[in-house]
Amino acid sequence: MVVGNKKSAMTSMERVLTSLAHKEPDRVPFSLMLTVHGARELGLSIKEYFSKAEYVVEGQLRMLKKYRHDCVNPFCAAAMAVEAFGGEVLWFEDGSPNSGEPIITTETDILSLQVPEIESSPSLVRMLKIIEMLKEKVGEEVPIMGVVVSPFSLPVMQMGFSSYIELMHERPALFNRLMQVNQEFCIAWANTQILAGATAICYFDALLSPSITAGAHLETGFKIAQDTLARINSPSVIHMATAATLPVVEEVIAAGASVIGVGILDDLAKLKATCQGRLTILGNLNGIAMRRWTPQQVEKKVKEVIAQAAPGGGFILADNGEIPWQVGEEVLTALSVAAHKWGRYPVCCQMG
Amino acid sequence: MISQKKEVQTFVAKLLRTDRLGAEEIFNAVQEQGSMPQTVDQLILPALETIGQGWEKGTVALAQVYMSSRICEELMIHVPLSTALQHPGYPRMAIAVLDDYHLLGKIIVSACLRASGYAFQDYGRVTSQELACKIKNDSIEIILVSALMLRSALQIKEVKRLLVEAGSPTRIVVGGAPFRFDPLLWKEVGADAMGANAAEALSAISSCIKTM
């Protein structure tokens, strides 16, 4: 039973902005990071789907209508950023594209690395077209989430994680050189997306989690994030994929982000208490496990998450990264139904 | 026992600070007091286990796990082969990553295996068909498979199917992010055990050996 005044329906943009202002909108904003699922909607292979901006735009609009969520994603694949540097994208029939063999294998590769021109990368140009076309369709009613891989995390794909860890620990000068190039690219790429019509930028940086990086290197990562976000002309989300975030909430706020993307490794109630009124939480449905959830489990999970994090605003119900291809329509529909049923404010009354 | 615990704690602290020389000093001191198997059992394994547990608890970062395992591996490289640890009932083992260039998990587990005195074949990046074929050709008894993405984790089902079809009794030990986020996944794909970290992978190998 719903108790309290029912608020009039807001647009998705109004809903998200209200929540970002740490106030309660009409219902909890709900955002699913659906990228490859648009291919299924259009009956195309994933590779074919991402080959034309028109396909992605159509896929995003169909999913927006079908799942009634509050955000569109022009994002295609993290590997696109590495492709701009000359890397390879690996395509799969049943999953998101992935980056191929590392492009940095020697010291010379780092010393000679140049900031790639955005207009010379077909994948990046296509994503800009997707943003422009989505903007024409949704105008100011639905947020368009631009995406960048952070300068600090990009080397995981550029040179392989193990080599990158060794670089961090053992070759500070080369590490700094790589960060400079990546940072300039990241800022240019983010701001070009904003110019094309993106509402905000999601700054993916799993390495900002203390579960991945420690000590001085973690401090370096946040310094880079702060410097980078200061030069990006939009609000930003720091997303650490599935890594733990609770210990670095203060650093995320200091870096200038408005939103933190969180995964299941954190205690959501503790996160809410820590972020209350200062930082909006985006999360934290388990994208891997949801594949096997029944509609009843979906409803239970959504209720639980909303009860913990939604009161007072400052919360966007979402998955913890990119939803895998293997998550079926039944689960996504159940998520939508539960989010609309239990997300109406004031949520505290509904939870009893 | 108290002094051993203290040595392990100091060794762990030096590994977490990437203090190679400091770690080597302790390693050499322990080695001088006993045999190599004792050094592995009393220093390397407890240290790697402590670090793995620290990662599970959130007190140790993945980068520290990696650097620690590499240092331990380097220390073991200097040990003459004749004195390397001989595991009783030593199985034929291999390690692989399915269809992915993200090899960190495999590298960490490989380093820990070497540091613990195990010999194994490294198959690198393979498809499910290639993996099943290599396992059969090399008569591998325990295969360790690392997966980063859900789609590659699910391919282990195909590896299992091909092995069952060929009548192979090979034990499959899996690890990687998808298995950490879906605790039922390892059973679904037909694995015999799951290691959430390198130390757990070592325990899983021990369990497999006991039941072989």
**A242 and B CB contact within 8 Å:** yes
**A87 and B CB contact within 8 Å:** no
- DSSP at A21: T
Tokens 């820990």, located at residue: B112
Three-state SS sequence of A56-87: HHHHHHHHHHHHCCCCECCCCCCHHHHHHCCC
Strand order in the sheet with A200-204: A30-31, A315-319, A280-285, A259-261, A236-239, A200-204, A145-149
Q: How far from A94 is each of A120, A273, A325, CA to CA, in Å?
A: 29, 38, 6
* Beta-carbon-side half-sphere exposure of residue A43 (alpha carbons within 13 Å): 0
Please state, in angstroms and rounded to a whole number, the distance separating the CA atoms of residues A27 and B189. 39
A38 φ/ψ sector (left φ>0, alpha ψ -120 to 50, else beta): alpha
Report chain B residues whose CB lies below 8 A from the CB of A292: 182, 184
- DSSP at B7: H
Tokens of B117: 């005195």
**B178 and A CB contact within 8 Å:** yes
**A219 and B CB contact within 8 Å:** no
CB A320 within 8 A of CB A286: yes
The reply to whether residue B150 touches residue A326, judged by beta carbons under 8 angstroms, is yes
Report chain B residues whose CB lies below 8 A from the CB of A165: 63, 66-67, 104
Burial (CB < 10 A; 0-12, 13-18, 19+), residue A341, is middle
CA closest to A169 among chain B residues: B18
Residue B17's pLDDT is 94
Please state, in angstroms and rounded to a whole number, the distance separating the CA atoms of residues B61 and B52. 10
Over the stretch A195-245, which tens digit does the pLDDT of each residue have? 999 999 999 999 999 999 998 999 999 999 999 999 999 999 999 988 999
The reply to whether residue B63 touches residue A168, judged by beta carbons under 8 angstroms, is yes
How distant is the Cα of B154 from the closest Cα of chain A, in angstroms? 10
Cα A58 vs. chain centroid, distance in angstroms? 20
**A264 and B CB contact within 8 Å:** yes
Lowest mean pLDDT among A71-75, A144-148, A332-336, B47-51: B47-51
Over the stretch A298-307, which tens digit does the pLDDT of each residue have? 999 999 999 9
Report ipTM for this prediction. Answer: 0.89
How distant is the Cα of B1 from the closest Cα of chain A, in angstroms? 31
Instruction: Pick A212's closest partner by Cβ from B63, B99, B101.
Output: B63
- The dihedrals phi and psi of A320, each to the nearest 5 degrees, come to -105, 30
Residue A6's pLDDT is 53
Q: Radius of gyration of chain A from Cα atoms?
A: 20
B199 φ/ψ sector (left φ>0, alpha ψ -120 to 50, else beta): alpha
Q: How many CB pairs under 8 A join A and B?
A: 89
How confident is the prediction for chain A on average, in pLDDT?
94
**A120 and B CB contact within 8 Å:** no
CA closest to A156 among chain B residues: B102
Over the stretch A157-167, which tens digit does the pLDDT of each residue have? 999 999 999 99
Over the stretch B186-199, which tens digit does the pLDDT of each residue have? 999 999 999 988 88
% of chain B with per-residue pLDDT over 90: 61
Lowest mean pLDDT among A180-184, B77-81, B125-129, B167-171: B77-81
Altogether, the residues listed in chain A come to a count of 352
Residue A174's pLDDT is 98
Q: Is the pLDDT of residue A156 over 90?
A: yes
Rounded to 5 degrees, what angle do the CA atoms B24, B27, B29 make? 110
CB A105 within 8 A of CB A86: no
Residue B3's pLDDT is 59
Residue A351 confidence class, pLDDT cut points 50, 70, 90: low
* Beta-carbon-side half-sphere exposure of residue B172 (alpha carbons within 13 Å): 29
Provide the chain B residues 12-31 that lie in CB contact (below 8 A) with chain A.
16, 18
Sign of CA dihedral A297, A143, A40, A289: negative
Please state, in angstroms and rounded to a whole number, the distance separating the CA atoms of residues B41 and B92. 21
Mean pLDDT value of segment B77-93:
68
CB A347 within 8 A of CB A311: yes
**B177 and A CB contact within 8 Å:** yes
How distant is the Cα of A140 from the closest Cα of chain B, in angstroms? 35
Residue A271's pLDDT is 97
How distant is the Cα of B7 from the closest Cα of chain A, in angstroms? 23
Three-state SS sequence of B80-118: CHHHCCCCCCCCCEEEEEECCCCCHHHHHHHHHHHHCCC
The reply to whether residue A168 touches residue B150, judged by beta carbons under 8 angstroms, is no
Q: Is the pLDDT of residue A4 over 50?
A: no
